[in-house]
Structure 1
Amino acid sequence: MLKFIDWDKEGKYKLFVLGAILVVSVLLVVWVNIYYGIDIVYSHFFYIPIIIAGAWYHRKAVWVAALLGMFHIIAGYVLNGVIVSSTLIRSAMFIIIAFVVGVISEEKDKFYDELKISEVKLQQQYSGLEGQHKDLMQKEDELSVLFEAAQLVNSTFNIRQVLESVVDLAQKVVGFDAGGIQLFDRDTREAVYQAIYNYSPDQIANLKHCQPFRDLLENFDKDLIIESVEGRFTCSLLSKIEMAVPMIINSDIYGVWFVENHTGDHFATDRKKILVTLASLTSSAVKNAWLYERTMFVATVDQLTGLYNRQYFDHVLEMEKEKARLIQAPLSLIMVDVNRLKYINDTFGHEMGDHILKESAALLKRSVRKGELVFRYGGDEMVIILADSNYRETSKVVKRIKANIQAWNLANIDKNVFLHLSIGWCTAKKADSLEKLVAAADEEMYRDKAEYYKSHGLTRETKGPR
């Protein structure tokens, strides 16, 4: 009969409360009857534990009501000697009230349980929708990054800018702790470009000396993703590399993405796919940039001397002249001519003549500061553009050139070949045209050439080592 009671801690507590209420009710009735002479039917207080039992045990509270009803009938018979109808009716009321309260309480609990189940389902649906929304937002971010990367690689031919921008984009999406890109020279296998994230300046400087990537990637037979590379590097700087993605151009490895993950969690598959896609986009951008650089090199650089050519000189001079006009800065030109180049070609051969031209070009490049450009103007003539350089500063450059000529001749004195350069220079005035600037420098150069021939007793047709 008492199987419906859970005999755990809470069940015992409820049973104790019911018993206590019942005992207190009976004692209260007895106390009122004795001390106050008020005739109270004790059974009226049975409704309290019956209602509580109905709330706790639902329809099973009928058993509690039945027990109390039996107690009420027996007590009435003992006290009155007969079983009166009111006692039976009251006992029946106990059972009816217990049943009604139990049904109501049971339905109420069912309703609340259904509400809880609905709440849990709604919470699960909300969590699912929230997860889907998060995934969609993540996919949107990934697509946005890939779109931005695609726009970037198609908008510039600057390799360094492409690498740095793509590394920044990849870090935002993939979320690696450190890493970057290295590009290799196809012949020397040395790193020629690199864009690094979250490495110290010393680490970046040392990274070029840690070049195991290309050999490692070739050993992996050009897999798209190389994982578990830890321990494969002799360079301790790269000991935390978790994943490497080769950059392949025309079936050859030109570079590598490498990423570190210090948290210990491996990258998800979708993150790896993004890295592979970015590597592919970067490879295409690098290929285009290299083709552009090669085209620009052929179009602007003299193939023999490595100096910029005449066409590029005209373009740069126009820009520098306009810049000088806008900022009211001086602009100087130095014209240089290789003396007696025809004699060298006729006497020692064109190979030696080409060598002298190359040495002259290298000497001029050593004589100027970084950012100052040297051009092959045509034949045996070369020209230097010195932006924001006045006459005094230009004369210092000329002195360096002459000092380097003397040093070269001393170093090559045993070869019976001497390097002589005629030099003329001019600093532009505000109203000077480009033609006047070039003509003035050219005139000074020919004056210097004439003095050279005169001082050595030579004419242009004269043969001899001088």
Structure 2
Amino acid sequence: MSFYRSKHVFRALAWGMVSLGVLTGAIFPLVAVELGVSAELALSPTFVGTTLAAGLIVGGLNFALASRIVRPRLRRLTGKMRQVRSAMDQATYTGDWSECDPAVCQLKEQAEDELGDVADSYNALLQALHAAHRVEERIQNFNNTLSSQLDLHDLSEQALSLLIEHSEADGGAIILEKQGEWTIPASTGLIEPEAILKSPALQAAHEQAEVRRFDLPEEVRVDAVLSHFTPSDVLLLPIKHHGLLLGWVVLAAASPFSDKTTRLLPLMIQGLGLALNNALLHDDLQRVAALDPLTGLYNRRFGMKRLEEELARIQRNQTPLSLIIVDLDHFKRLNDTYGHLAGDKVLVRAASVIRDMLRKGDVVMRYGGEEFIAILPGSDIEDGADIAERIRFALAQSRVEVAGHTLSVTASIGIACTADDRLSSAEPLMKLADSRLYAAKSGGRDRVIAEGAGEALAS
């Protein structure tokens, strides 16, 4: 049996050392003869027996000494390994990885030979396991944080903040495709982030969705704590879900990103792809649930929710809000004469006209049937009356072609304002605007009523 292939190293070492000692004892009498000792003495049984015994003893002592030096260190190493294995088994189920910390389980070995190399390799392995767990923990915490968010804006803001924190970037943005257009739902530290959408590097990246580094457009700068500067390193990372490109993460830094960062970020963004896909689906469902299927305006339920939100906001900001109720005149007669298809076309046209007459930030809903409501935050009664008159005039001028017939429709409009009428909640505001709407109808239709109970501002 070869000593080199033995599965019991110390047993093989013992046999080897004892055998070497015995062999040395057996050869020594012959060497003694060569050195001048008489053959009678050197080859006598007593002398030979003595040298064999001495060789056996020296071999045994050598093994004992080697065992005494090496064995404790190996036992200490295996003990540490068992400790780490036990801690890892426990941490897998408890989540407490403190017992696996290198500061606790590190092996201190002063040897500068192979034993020192073994100890160094063990410590390096421990550090690698700890680093791997830290990466896994970061990714898991990142995914757990994002999985609780369904609001697209909040999710994007939170994800970008975490990515900047983990990458030590100085600024960044998230770019998403929504309804065929690229938008930036979140950006931090970038001046003119919209310019990124026109970057040739981003345009080229759409063709091959892979991690790359690129130069920001000249108009884009990073807003650091003390100064604005052009970043020295910019990462462009694709956000995918099941192979479908959802968008990009752009991260900019004053100093180059580390290799560890460039390896970690794609792993984190895998979870971001799932979270953003869920948020986009939720956003689409919310949008569909909020819209009237015929006109594309907010429906009554969602529109009233927006009214409550806007009323709460104007109370905090101490600004006025005007509410306009638009009712199409003689719509039932039009429906009965030309049919519901013609009526639907008139409603769609009216919704488009009203939407076009409003300002950015105004809200419009289909309240029911042929009735529409426009919410004008920041508008006093004069502003509201002016917009209402433009709506009335535009509706009267619009035409709808149906089966060879040219149809037109007028509207009666009532207005109420929180400032002039000292109203702060939805119900009395709606009630006042509605009473002025009926005053407009009883006064001859195709008119706007913004005060009192029947005075026309336009005829």
* TM-score of Structure 1 vs Structure 2, range by shorter chain: 0.5 to 0.7
Decide which structure has greater helix share. Answer: 1
Residue 284 (structure 2) pairs with residue 294 (structure 1): yes
- C-alpha separation in 2, matches of 1:185 and 1:328: 34
Aligned counterpart in structure 2 of residue 282 of structure 1, from 272, 275, 284: 272
Runs of at least 5 residues in structure 2 that lack an aligned partner in the other structure: 1-108, 221-231, 448-459
Distance 1:126 1:334, change over 3 A: farther
Shift of the alpha carbon at 1:300? 2.2
For 2:375, the equivalent position in structure 1 comes to 385
In 2, distance between residues paired with 1:207 and 1:252?
21
Residues 212 and 397 (structure 1), Cα distance of their counterparts in 2 relative to 1, 3 Å cut: same
**2:322·2:415 contact (CA, 8 Å) conserved in 1?**
yes
Q: Name the counterpart of 1:440.
A: 432
Give yes or no for contact 1:166–1:278 (8 Å, CA) kept in 2: no
What's the TM-score, normalizing by structure 1?
0.54
Q: Within the alignment, does 1:422 sit opposite 2:415 as a pair?
A: no
- Cα 1:441–1:197, aligned 2, differ >3 Å: closer, same or farther? closer
**Who is 2:166 aligned against?**
173
Query: Which residue identity does 1:290 align to in structure 2?
Result: L
> What TM-score, normalized by structure 2, do the two folds share?
0.55
- Please give the alpha-carbon distance, in whole angstroms, between the structure 2 residues aligned to 1:284 and 1:432: 42
Cα distance between partner residues in 2 of 1:432 and 1:266 = 56
1:106-152 CA-partner distances (Å, limit 9, x unpaired): xxxxxxxxxxx96999x999999998998789768756653553344
Q: Given that residues 397 and 408 in structure 2 are in contact (C-alpha distance below 8 angstroms), is that contact kept between their aligned partners in structure 1?
A: no
Partner of 1:364: 354
AA of the residue aligned to 1:203: A
Q: Is the 8 A contact 2:417 2:423 kept in 1?
A: no
Q: Secondary structure at the match of 1:366?
A: helix
Contact 2:311 2:424 in 1 (8 A): no
Residue 191 (structure 1) aligned with residue 198 (structure 2): no
Query: What SS does the aligned partner of 1:416 have?
Result: strand
Deviates more, 1:333-342 or 1:317-326: 317-326
User: Where do residues 439-458 of structure 1 align in structure 2 (5 Å cutoff)?
Assistant: 439-452=431-444
Write the distance in 2 (CA, Å) between the matches of 1:199 and 1:402: 44
| 2:76 counterpart residue number | none
Q: Distance in 2 between matches of 1:230 and 1:327?
A: 44
Determine whether 1:253 maps to 2:254.
no
Matches within 5 A, 1:275-354: 275-321=265-311, 330-354=320-344
Are 1:163 and 1:282, in contact at CA under 8 Å, matched by a contact in 2? no
Letter in 2 for 1:192: T
Alignment of structure 1 residues 203-242 onto 2, 5 Å: 203-204=195-196, 206-207=198-199, 210-217=202-209, 226=210
Quote the Cα distance in structure 2 between the aligned partners of 1:425 and 1:277: 55
Q: Note the C-alpha offset of 1:445.
A: 1.4
CA distance in 2, matches of 1:265, 1:331: 50
Q: Which residue of 2 aligns with 1:395?
A: 385
Contact 1:142–1:173 (CA under 8 A) maintained in structure 2: no
> Match of 1:440, as an amino acid?
L
Counterpart of 2:165, as a letter, is: K
Match of 1:157 in 2: 150
Deviation of the 1:337 alpha carbon: 0.8
Q: In 2, Cα distance between the equivalents of 1:262 and 1:438?
A: 55
SS at match of 2:149: coil
Between the aligned partners of 1:178 and 1:322, the Cα distance in structure 2 is: 34
Over alpha carbons, which structure has the higher Rg? 1
Q: Is the 8 A contact 1:424 1:444 kept in 2?
A: yes
